[in-house]
Amino acid sequence: MKITILTLFPEMLAGPFDHSIIKRAREDGKLTIEYVHIRDFGIGTHKMADDKPYGGGVGMVLRADVVIPAIQKSKCSSACNEKIFLMDAGGEKFTQKIAQDLSILDHLILICGHYEGVDERVVEYIDGKISIGDYILTGGELPAMVITDAVCRLIPGILGKDDSSKEESFSEGLLEYPHYTRPEIFDEKKVPEILLSGNHSKINEWRKEQQINRTKKIRPDLLS
């Protein structure tokens, strides 16, 4: 899979993907992450990428005649399973289901908005807008990092055991069950006996019950 991130600040993105699981996936050739500097497509000597909004108002807006050429340059040169999304607080809220859908693509393009936003005419060239939550950030780089991380770990073979991602929170619409490891007793708190029983059928029942109870308590909205 290839992920291309269009940004005004490519230096912000280099570090997070140079470690751990994603680093190994890139080294193994299972994943390619590319950064495209939007300002390379800027206007004039100073490579201007933004301008004042028509109608007045504070802030600046990324220009369509800069962002759209950057998109077109980044797209697959031949037919491929490709999607393009703008990072936008007004977009569809990112979920595990969306991450799963994006993980089967050949190519994912993420556009990092900045300033007051992006010229609305860019919308005709994308497949949608994505938000990672109901709050405002200074730019789209952090959301692009979050989405990239969530999508990459779902690509078959990247986690090592494909079942790992199937048992996580939200994968079945429920929060994940609690985990325990050694020592068996710590600070007078003992690992639940059922996990020491070796009865995998009963352990699975206990885990499902824990998922439901935890979801009821913390995220009852998911059960609806």
Q: Map out the domains of the chain with their CATH numbers.
A: 2-152 (3.40.1280.10), 169-223 (1.10.1270.20)
List pLDDT tens digits, range 26-70. 999 999 999 999 999 999 999 999 999 999 988 999 999 999 999
List pLDDT tens digits, range 3-20. 999 999 999 998 889 899
DSSP notation for 21-40:
HHHHHHHTTS-EEEEEEGGG
What is the C-alpha to C-alpha distance for residues 35 and 56, in angstroms, rounded to an integer? Answer: 32
What is the per-residue burial (b if ≥16 Cβ within 10 Å, else e) of 116-128?
ebbbeebeeebee
What is the C-alpha to C-alpha distance for residues 207 and 132, in angstroms, rounded to an integer? Answer: 28
Percent of the chain's residues with pLDDT above 90? 85
Task: Enter the tokens of residue 109.
Answer: 């393009």
Size of the chain, expressed as the number of residues it contains: 224
Nearest residue to 17 via CA among 177, 119, 146, 106 = 146
Q: What is the dihedral of CA 81, 82, 88, 94, to 10 degrees?
A: 20
